[in-house]
Amino acid sequence: MVMITDIIIIGGGVIGCSTAYNLAKLGAQRVVLLERGDLCSGGTAKSCAIVRTHYSIESNLIHAVESLKIFASFADMVGGDVGFHRTGYLIVGPETHRQPMEAVFRKQREHGIDTAVLTPAEARKIHPLLNVDDVGVIGYDSFTGYADPYLTTTTYARRAKELGVRVYTDTAVTGLALHDDHKTVHTHQGDFAAPVIIMAVGPWTYQLGCMIGVDFPYENSRHKVITLKIAEPYRLDWPIVKDLTTPTKIYFRPETGGVVLLGTGDHGDPIEDPDSLRDEIDDAHIEHMAALIAHRMPPFAEADITAGWTGPYDITPDWNPIVGEVPGYKGLYVAVGFSGHGFKLAPTMGEGLAQTVLGQEPRVPMAPYAMSRFVEGKPLYGSYGIGSIS
Ligand SMILES: Cc1cc2nc3c(=O)[nH]c(=O)nc-3n(C[C@H](O)[C@H](O)[C@H](O)COP(=O)(O)OP(=O)(O)OC[C@H]3O[C@@H](n4cnc5c(N)ncnc54)[C@H](O)[C@@H]3O)c2cc1C
């Protein structure tokens, strides 16, 4: 038995579910989403889910600004609660970053985001635990926040289902047979066929690529998050902090229960197989991070580590996603390589991809994310160099 459909989405992370919802909202019929495990069981489940707009690449900034509007008004614009908390965002850097940072602030302001360069005293008013004695430049925007990655993904999926999308969990794709007008997807639960397939399997794209002989230009790495708690209260409305003075570009944000999430914006440890990830975090990493956080927030010299986990980044050569039709494969689309910053972009990446698939003009820029940019010499490099803030 083959189930005949119009569009098959593979992958039930935040990108696949946002795309499914947007397709259905735009009127697409007979859309099916196939997820090998539960919804939100891949990289999205491990996300710190920070939703900021500080990007030096303008197309990223536009996606981030338009996506932030959706996160902040999710109930009205999509339907449902995704736990969005607005905290603001402090970004500290060496003096050499002043020019690029100020250029980003100007661009953010042009797009309606409230930004300012702060003095150390002003920064400490917003975040009293912060030591900014050694930083060259401090920027702030008041719009940034974070959401709940599980709620965001499952709410998109629920809304997609309400609009007619059929979602199959525990349905791993095991093979793909491609022809221009029809494509067959083999799964453990039977076969599905459609003229259009969208691959949104993030770090697992390599496996699907092997099924069709396409080598997608990205690599996987392992990223670690640790959570810390100090005796004194850590307020939920203190801003998220990005520290560009540190070699690993650390970031931290408040979480419920007075806990602080601490992660890095560097490359992480290369891994072959995302299924090999385990949540153990080595002592060397903990010691390294403990020293950095104690420097930036001195009361954290006495912090307890309450938890830690690891998650995969799917990193492209320019640290920006590949979203669009696979060159040479009519009707086959991919969304991969979100390089550790895809959560915040998911609302409009899903929307833009849905519009592209349906032959409509995307509301947000999608052309910069074509896979062909790497062979055409048009990579998307930002002014902070390689990294998830670009
Ligand atoms: C530690 C960490 C912190 C992060 N912090 C942030 C942040 O603060 N802000 C931000 O914007 N981004 C952040 N990110 C990045 C962001 O979370 C990801 O870019 C985003 O969640 C990727 O979503 P996705 O849907 O592409 O992939 P995934 O969530 O990995 O979804 C892919 C899905 O495909 C499924 N799948 C795989 N193979 C198959 C198959 N054969 N058949 C069917 N289904 C299959 C998987 O089970 C999975 O559910 C972070 C990532 C990590 C790891």
Ranges for all domains in the chain classified under CATH 3.50.50.60: 2-46+149-218+318-374
| Contact between residue 13 and residue 153 where contact means Cβ atoms under 8 Å apart | yes
**pLDDT on residue 135:** 97
Task: Kindly report the protein residue whose alpha carbon is nearest to atom 3 of ligand 1.
Answer: 47
Backbone φ, ψ for residue 147 (5° rounding): -125, 180
Q: How confident is the model at residue 61 (pLDDT cuts 50, 70, 90)?
A: very high
Average pLDDT over residues 174-198: 94
Task: Give, in order, the Cα–Cα distances in Å from 198 to each of 8, 31, 251, 353.
Answer: 6, 11, 32, 9
Cα 44 to averaged position of ligand 1 atoms, centre (Å): 4
Least reliable range by pLDDT among 176-185, 189-198, 210-219: 176-185
DSSP state of 14: H
Residue 338, pLDDT > 90, answer yes
CA distance 142 to 189: 47
Cα 132 to averaged position of ligand 1 atoms, centre (Å): 33
For the 86-143+219-314 domain, the top CATH level (class) is: alpha beta
Cα 258 to averaged position of ligand 1 atoms, centre (Å): 26
Residue pointed to by tokens 């959706």: 70
Q: How confident is the model at residue 260 (pLDDT cuts 50, 70, 90)?
A: very high
Average pLDDT over residues 255-259: 94
Q: Which of 41, 44, 46 to mutate to test the pocket of ligand 1 (most atoms within 8 A of CB)?
A: 44
Residue 386, pLDDT > 80, answer no
Average pLDDT over residues 26-52: 98
**pLDDT on residue 181:** 80
Average pLDDT over residues 45-62: 97
Task: Kindly report the protein residue whose alpha carbon is nearest to atom 50 of ligand 1.
Answer: 47
Ranges for all domains in the chain classified under CATH 3.30.9.10: 86-143+219-314
Residue 32, pLDDT > 80, answer yes
The DSSP code sequence of 303-329 is PEEEEEEEEEEEE-TTSS-EEEEPTT-
Q: Which atom of ligand 1 is nearest to the CA of 207?
A: 41
Q: Which atom of ligand 1 is nearest to the CA of 343?
A: 11
Residues 88-140: tens digit of each pLDDT:
999 999 999 999 999 999 999 999 999 999 999 999 999 999 999 999 999 99
Q: How confident is the model at residue 390 (pLDDT cuts 50, 70, 90)?
A: confident
According to CATH, what is the number of the domain 2-46+149-218+318-374? 3.50.50.60
Residue pointed to by tokens 């999608």: 366
Average pLDDT over residues 57-67: 97
Which residues are CB-contacts of 329 (< 8 A; sequence separation ≥ 6)?
178, 212, 214
Q: Which of 33, 41, 48 to mutate to test the pocket of ligand 1 (most atoms within 8 A of CB)?
A: 48
**pLDDT on residue 385:** 78
Q: Which atom of ligand 1 is nearest to the CA of 34?
A: 43
Residue among 45, 9, 17, 61 at smallest CA distance from 334: 9
Cα 67 to averaged position of ligand 1 atoms, centre (Å): 17
Q: How confident is the model at residue 269 (pLDDT cuts 50, 70, 90)?
A: very high
